[in-house]
């Protein structure tokens, strides 16, 4: 293949990378415009370098006329997420899309590589619209957390520099660092869950308080002055102690008192 052929060969892959980058960046913008939490932190993309394609073809015994099917990551998209849960959510969104077809998936998060590498890879078939008609190309979508990306970026640059000559003690330290990155992801995920459940608890409390206060006001409306004053006193006590369980009971009793008041009023 001469250099001109390479240019023509890579063109649909370049187009695929550009289009896919726009699509996933737009997905992020869409979540943000709805004020929703976005599972995408940022998106990057690249075309594999010709030397890397040749090296990989040699390593995998792929003949030059079978590069299109033999090398799946000529077009590569990388999506960075805050949490591992975001990667699973994003994978489901990708599987549901009509503009790309999932060929297969590689879960290097559950089954990390020997190096310590973790990421979730999805190989897709993506149709590129060219002047000669539709051309389906293979592309690899890598999804990782920020911690996984931090590790992989540094490890990749070290491997690139030292090739196969990475000292074995360094390899072990990199494996340990990968484990530390994974622990960090787990810790952050559990902190996030606790924050969300604390927010939920806060929401519950806010609703409960307004339900009780509205209930007391309704009792006044039905001229149950003494009862309303008793509920107000009880509420003041519980408000001080922040006893949610008793506050729930108080709210229940208040609803029953209101039903009685409504019945005797009608």
Tell me the residue ranges of DSSP E strands in the chain. Answer: 42-47, 75-81, 101-107, 120-130, 133-145
Does 42 help bind ligand 0O2 (rule: CB under 6 A)?
A: yes
Does 227 help bind ligand 0O2 (rule: CB under 6 A)?
A: no
Show the CA angle centred on residue 166, arms to residues 162 and 167, nearest 5°. 140
Our answer to whether residue 140 is catalytic in this structure is yes
Measure CA 244 to chain center: 33
Give the contacts of 193 (CB within 8 A, at least 6 positions apart).
none
Lay out the site mask for ligand 0O2 across 119-158 (x = CB under 6 A, - = otherwise): --x------------------------------x--xx--
Show the CA angle centred on residue 75, arms to residues 71 and 80, nearest 5°. 120
Does 19 help bind ligand 0O2 (rule: CB under 6 A)?
A: no
The residue among 89 and 106 lying less far from ligand 0O2, judged by its C-beta, is: 106
The residue among 41 and 253 lying less far from ligand 0O2, judged by its C-beta, is: 41
Other CB atoms within a 10 A radius of the CB of residue 124 amount to: 25
Q: How near is the Cβ of 184 to ligand 0O2 at its closest, in Å?
A: 16
Secondary structure letter of residue 55 according to DSSP: H
Does 178 help bind ligand 0O2 (rule: CB under 6 A)?
A: no
Bridge partners of residue 63, in order along the sequence: none
208 CB-contact burial (10 Å; exposed 0-12 / middle 13-18 / buried 19+): middle
Which of residues 117, 126, 231, 235 is near ligand 0O2 by CB under 6 A?
117
Does 44 help bind ligand 0O2 (rule: CB under 6 A)?
A: yes
Q: Which of 30, 41, 105, 140 is catalytic?
A: 140
Lay out the site mask for ligand 0O2 across 57-86 (x = CB under 6 A, - = otherwise): ----------------x--x----------
Radius of gyration of the chain (CA): 29
**In the complex, which residues of this chain contact ligand 0O2 (CB under 6 A)?**
21, 41-42, 44-45, 48, 52, 73, 76, 106, 113, 115, 117, 121, 152, 155-156
- Name the residues annotated as catalytic: 140
């Amino acid at each position: 293949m001469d250099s001109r052929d390479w240019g023509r060969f890579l063109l649909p892959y370049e187009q695929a990378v550009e289009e896919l980058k726009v699509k996933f960046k737009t997905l992020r913008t869409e979540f943000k415009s709805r004020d929703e939490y976005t599972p995408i932190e940022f998106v990057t993309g690249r075309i594999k370098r010709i030397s890397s394609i040749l090296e990989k073809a040699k390593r995998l015994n792929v003949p030059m006329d079978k590069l299109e099917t033999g090398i799946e990551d000529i077009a590569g998209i990388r999506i960075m997420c805050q949490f591992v849960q975001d990667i699973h959510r994003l994978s489901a969104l990708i599987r549901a899309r009509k503009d790309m077809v999932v060929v297969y998936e590689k879960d290097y998060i559950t089954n990390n590589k020997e190096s310590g590498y973790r990421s979730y890879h999805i190989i897709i078939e993506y149709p590129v619209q060219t002047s000669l008609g539709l051309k389906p190309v293979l592309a690899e979508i890598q999804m990782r957390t920020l911690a996984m990306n931090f590790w992989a970026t540094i490890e990749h640059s070290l491997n690139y520099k030292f090739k196969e000559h990475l000292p074995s003690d360094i390899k072990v330290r990199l494996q340990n660092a990968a484990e530390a990155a994974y622990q960090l992801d787990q810790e952050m995920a559990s902190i996030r869950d606790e924050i969300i459940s604390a927010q939920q608890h806060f929401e519950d409390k806010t609703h409960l308080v307004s339900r009780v206060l509205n209930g007391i006001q309704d009792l006044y409306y039905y001229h149950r002055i003494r009862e309303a004053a008793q509920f107000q006193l009880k509420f003041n006590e519980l408000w001080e102690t922040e006893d949610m369980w008793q506050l729930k009971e108080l709210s229940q009793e208040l609803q029953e008192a209101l039903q009685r008041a409504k019945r005797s009023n009608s």
